Amino acid sequence: MTPHDAMVNQAGFGQTIRSSNGAVECDGKKPAEVQSRVDAYQRFTQILGVAPGGNLSC
């Protein structure tokens, strides 16, 4: 699944991380980097005034 497909098909931001960098970051490999991505995503959604949705982490 592409990151775009993950967002438009409501698979969540966590799936975009898995699609982009899953082999490197997901499944407990780099939790600090994943959390940094989630934090930035939540800041952007807050600025835009939209809900971040579910499944934020991979």
Q: Give 37-56 pLDDT, tens digit per residue.
A: 999 999 999 999 999 999 99
Which has the closest alpha carbon to 16: 27, 5, 3, 26?
3
The answer to whether residue 30 is domain-embedded is yes
Question: In one letter, which amino acid is 46?
Answer: Q
The answer to whether residue 56 is domain-embedded is no
Q: Which domain holds residue 34?
A: 3-48
For residue 16, what pLDDT is reported? 94
For residue 15, what pLDDT is reported? 95
The answer to whether residue 55 is domain-embedded is no
The answer to whether residue 54 is domain-embedded is no
The answer to whether residue 58 is domain-embedded is no
The answer to whether residue 28 is domain-embedded is yes
The answer to whether residue 34 is domain-embedded is yes
- Total number of domains constituting the chain: 1
